[in-house]
Amino acid sequence: MNAPMSLTLFCLGAVVLIPLLASALSVLLGSAARRVLGVLTSAAVLGLSAPILVRVTSGETLELALGGFESPLGITLRADGLSALFLAMTAIVGAVVSCYAAARPAATGKRLVAQTVEPATVTDGDHRAALTEDAPAAWRTGHAGFWPLWLGCWSGLNAVFVSGDLFNTYVGLELVGLTAVALVALGGREAWAAALRYLFIAVLGSLLFLIGVALIYSVTGTLDIIDSGEAITQLAAQGDADLAAVVLALCLISLGLALKVALVPLHGWLIPAHSSAPSAVSPLLSALVIKAALFVLLRAWLWVAGPLPELEILAWVLAGMGTAAILLGSVMALRQSRLKPLIAYSTVAQVGYWFLLLPLLLDPETSALEGQPGTTLEEGAVLAGALSGTVALALGHGLAKASLFLSAGHLKDLYSTDEITELRGAGRAHPMLVMSMGLSAVGLIGLPLSLGFSGKWLLATSAVAAGHYWILVVLVAGTLFSAAYLLKAVAPLLVMSEDDQTALTLPQAQNHPGASDRTLTGKAQLAPFLLGLLTVLTGFLGVWLTGVLEVGAPW
């Protein structure tokens, strides 16, 4: 590709490299300058993602060989419909959360400032001057380490989404995983153990993925996602014995990514990691980081492996785990008494939805409607519906869960507790926060007009077309359960008056010395509200989404 790089192709490289550059630069800056740089970078990434989305929507797959080196030596970036959609969602959520973190530095974690601790934990910042000298060690809110880590994580996420080959996908996943672990660790002493547990799981998942990638390479002779998919299709046509290696590779990749995406029963690490992370980090973890693993899973199943009949058992196992995730995650969410663990379990439940499409992939015949007059579904319609339904569910979850975690973290910072019973009536004092929780609950339950509804509708339609009626049962059960646990979380906050004998006494709102007092009640509350609003507004995009996903689709 020696033609002069067009502006859009420049954007394709820049969405990966600019956050990486900003991450490296921010290490050199003071904490106030880091906030400015973070907001500027997020605006830049938002601006750079827009042309990519526009060009892909017009029906063009973008491809860029970095530095003019073609594969196998070079690094190919490629953006098709799936990439562009995930890129756009990441840009929106990332930019909003960045603004929130810049407006409320206290939400970025806490650090130990002391003479007794090793110097590495003491980052120089403006807070240090305010520290009283006689305190040997004290936790200070706000951790400037958030910015380099989050920008690095963003770079990794974008690298995963636009990667054209499997190995760069691995490098991107690893970058996301390691920075996410460090982001969890910003939460202070309680979060360290959770972060370490997350590290073990994330690295184990990456190693399994790496072995799978190497197996696929050794069979197909290429790491390129599209080329290896073609090679595997040829092998399948010849009935080659190497196909067993592909099946093994897909097993390893699926297991590794299921670990990273926290599919039941591999979800144990997610609850402590997501609920003990700082307020600005939990939304990023839940909305974006696990989406990277989901994205790679979809790539591997749809683009690399294609519909191999040998994978049927694996597909059913994963779909069964998904069903179990919806049921178990919901039941566990209902049993929580604290806000953040409840939302974390709701993530576990929502993960299950994304695995329901796998049996549909291998059996896309429209068997149920076959032979009936007037039903002429074209080739790939079931696949397209199932994929766009799943993607809509994942994107809707990203927006809604980011909003929900932001509001919950904000409430927790306000009242220094997230026990639901103690937060009764918080809606009176903070209507905007509770309103955004309600909006995101609408999205997560999948009530009409939200993106979650479009996703469930598309998935259910294609499930019926393919004769997989069990998916309907799972979807309905999941919807009812999610309505139950989200009502349990939101309803107590909405109590307006003392309609029963219990007095409405909110815990004393925290009064921080200095600036953080104002930031808790100020404009920062707009961030979750904006995301909640987007959850509902994007519900109109269901059809558009299906169209965008057709760009570069494997069928």
Partner 1 sequence: MMLASSTGALGALVEAGLLGVELTQVQWYLLLGTAVAVIGMVRMLLTRDLVARLIALNVTGIGSLMIILALAARSAESADPAGSGPGIDPVLSALVITGLVITVAFTGLGAVLIRRIEGFPVTGRRDDPESGGPAQDPEAEQ
Provide the binding-site residues for partner 1, judged by CB under 8 A: 72, 110, 121, 132, 134-141, 167, 171, 174, 178, 181-182, 185, 188-190, 192-193, 195-196, 199-200, 203-204, 206-208, 210-211, 213-215, 217-218, 221, 223, 276, 412-413, 416-417, 510, 512-513
Q: How far apart are the first and last CA of the chain?
A: 26
Q: Which is nearer to partner 1, 417 or 521 (CB)?
A: 417
Q: To the nearest whole angstrom, how small is the minimum distance from the Cβ of residue 182 to partner 1?
A: 7
Q: To the nearest whole angstrom, how small is the minimum distance from the Cβ of residue 272 to partner 1?
A: 11
Side chain identity at residue 213, one-letter code: V
Q: To the nearest whole angstrom, how small is the minimum distance from the Cβ of residue 13 to partner 1?
A: 20
Q: To the nearest whole angstrom, how small is the minimum distance from the Cβ of residue 385 to partner 1?
A: 36
The DSSP output letter for 240 is: -
Q: Which is nearer to partner 1, 107 or 383 (CB)?
A: 107
Side chain identity at residue 368, one-letter code: A
Match 């000298």 to its residue by tokens.
Answer: 133
Q: How far is 323 from 325, CA to CA, in rounded Å?
A: 5
Q: To the nearest whole angstrom, how small is the minimum distance from the Cβ of residue 218 to partner 1?
A: 4
Q: To the nearest whole angstrom, how small is the minimum distance from the Cβ of residue 215 to partner 1?
A: 7
Match 């995963």 to its residue by tokens.
Answer: 160
Q: To the nearest whole angstrom, how small is the minimum distance from the Cβ of residue 117 to partner 1?
A: 9
- Residues 87, 49: contact at Cβ < 8 Å? yes
Side chain identity at residue 260, one-letter code: K
Q: To the nearest whole angstrom, how small is the minimum distance from the Cβ of residue 127 to partner 1?
A: 11
Instruction: Compute CA distances 30 → 127, 132, 331, whole Å.
Output: 11, 21, 45
Match 């014995």 to its residue by tokens.
Answer: 241
Q: Which is nearer to partner 1, 335 or 512 (CB)?
A: 512
Cβ neighbours for 258, distance < 8 A, ≥ 6 positions apart: 205, 266, 297, 318, 321
CA torsion through residues 55, 56, 61, 63, sign: positive
Beta bridge mates, 139: 112
Q: Which is nearer to partner 1, 223 or 302 (CB)?
A: 223
Q: Which is nearer to partner 1, 184 or 471 (CB)?
A: 184
Q: Which is nearer to partner 1, 3 or 241 (CB)?
A: 241
Q: Which is nearer to partner 1, 448 or 522 (CB)?
A: 522
Q: Is the peptide bond before 72 cis (omega within 30 degrees of 0)?
A: yes
The DSSP output letter for 287 is: I
Q: To the nearest whole angstrom, how small is the minimum distance from the Cβ of residue 517 to partner 1?
A: 10
Q: Which is nearer to partner 1, 108 or 388 (CB)?
A: 108
Match 């790939």 to its residue by tokens.
Answer: 380
Q: How far is 29 from 34, CA to CA, in rounded Å?
A: 6
| SS3 category, 421 | helix
Query: For 282, what's the count of Cα atoms within 13 Å in the CB-facing half-sphere?
Result: 35
Q: How far is 289 from 299, CA to CA, in rounded Å?
A: 16
Q: Which is nearer to partner 1, 215 or 311 (CB)?
A: 215
Q: Which is nearer to partner 1, 59 or 507 (CB)?
A: 507
Q: To the nearest whole angstrom, how small is the minimum distance from the Cβ of residue 183 to partner 1?
A: 12
Instruction: Compute CA distances 241 → 143, 232, 309, 337, 445, whole Å.
Output: 54, 11, 14, 53, 45
